A and B are shown apart, each in its own frame.
Chain A
Amino acid sequence: MQAAATAQLERNGNGVAASGDWTLAAAPRIAALIAQLRASLPAQARVDARGIGRLDTAGARLLLDLAGDDRIDGLDANRRALLDAVAKVDLAPEPAPPRDNSLVALLARTGAAVEQIGRDALQLVGFIGLVLATLARCVPDPRRWRPTSLAFHLEQTGLDAVPIVVLLNFLVGAVVAFLGATVLKDFGATIYTVELIGYSFLREFGVLLTAILIAGRSGSAFTAQIGSMKSREEIDAIRTLGLDPVEVLVMPRLLALLIAMPLLTVLAMLAGIVGGGVVAALSMDISPTLFVTRLHDLGATKHFWVGISKAPLFAFLIACIGCLEGFKVSGSAESVGTHTTSSVVQSIFVAILVDALAAIFYMEINV
């Protein structure tokens, strides 16, 4: 590569003489030169291109801005070919579509978003119905249980999630115990920390924290797995082979989650209580024996059933949302990402919403 020669453009009698390198790198400079000169140039001015060092398509395009194909002199055959190729294809630039930033557009987008939410909700309800129907068809027929697939998903969603679920609940249990100790100390009632821990973890935290973790861990995985299969037309292949994608893909994941979630919830409750118990023993002198006795007096079994009853419900909703979002993926890899995000957000939202409704329900029936 020779040292770059600066592009030049000079008046030359009735025409102009171009010299230097006419390349993409010099394009802004050349464009400015042309803009300066063009106003003063006669309509039929000729361009002398003999002095041009290097010429690429960008340079050729700009040369053509200066004068027509037939009014450029001093080009060898190769450059003439380049210029012809550029001249032949270049079309008038299309005007950019006008951007609509008005208030009406804002309202329209808001309306479209609301409509979309309604449509999504309807779609989810429809999908839940489809899944329930498939479930009713498959469960009585052991040949359709797909044990291999079920075992695989049980390991992925259940066993592999144990460490994170236990650790997280243990830590939250410890934090709640500290909070309780701090607040209750003023009333001389630190002993009620036991009730606080037992009540919150058995009824709410154990199952809710698990649901949030599983939504982030397994719900997203379901969407990504099914979504990438969808974008590679594997779902269509399943259909053409005479199989039902809901049965093949959704059932094992749903059943795995329905089994794993209650088990994980039990571990979560235990971990939370142990976390609280450790803090109680270390910083409040509540011995483990006393802790367990008080838990019994609390009527822990009843609260345990309230909490665990929500686990299958959350599992069902997370699996349905995760799989449905996967089926909604279209074409590109980008779409897989969008739907995975949407799947996690929806599952966590639905889990908390259902938990709130359940809390009101159990309060009303005095459990």
Chain B
Amino acid sequence: MKILICISDVPDTTTKIKFTNDNKELDQTEIQWIINPWDELALTRAIELKESLGEKIESITVINVGPAGSEPTIRKALAMGADNAIRVDADPKESYFVAYQLAEAIKSRDFDIILAGLDSADYNGASVGGMMAELLDMPSVSAISALNIENGKVFINREIEGGTQKLEAQTPFVAIVQKGIAIEPKIPAMRGIMMARTKPLEVVAPANADCLTENIVYELPQPKGACRKFTEENVNELVDVLHKEAKLI
């Protein structure tokens, strides 16, 4: 079985977000880039499967749409345990554009399961996996919180509004994963880090793709007013305020 994981690089989730150029662009000066947390969990699960199933998982490939500057993120994925990587050499402008690039790069290749994160910690499109699946005319299952392979069959749990379904899925398909797929992202081992540079990283030219959306301006949330504080002794007053002033309870 061959597994592909789509990865993007996003600002570290602890980063304070700032904008420049009249709030038209993200201020990248103090940003540390990381693998999108959802994608990192997807990759972690793929590696876990390979560790437990051995040769039944023939290969783990990661693919990224990004400029050369995103290669450290790709190398991190290789250090964690991916076998090889593909980078589509394009600036990831918006979801449809990225999904189109991915689909073009993937369609001539052969994968059984394509993993994508449910959301991304940058522009929160929650969209690339589903768009790519449609462009590949491949089935997709969303919000997967567990993925197992037994005797060549793929079993998944997916969260739906109001519950969890246990499903058997036929391959090939696009698995759009969320938290729970793996507990914590894998920390790369020292040997993995040193071997990352020796693993193949194929750079492919981008296809001609349209952009359907454009972020024209950003804004930060309005700062909150001062917090009105109460003590253990006057909890009743708080309840009174919530009831009478704020009318919330």
A binds B: no
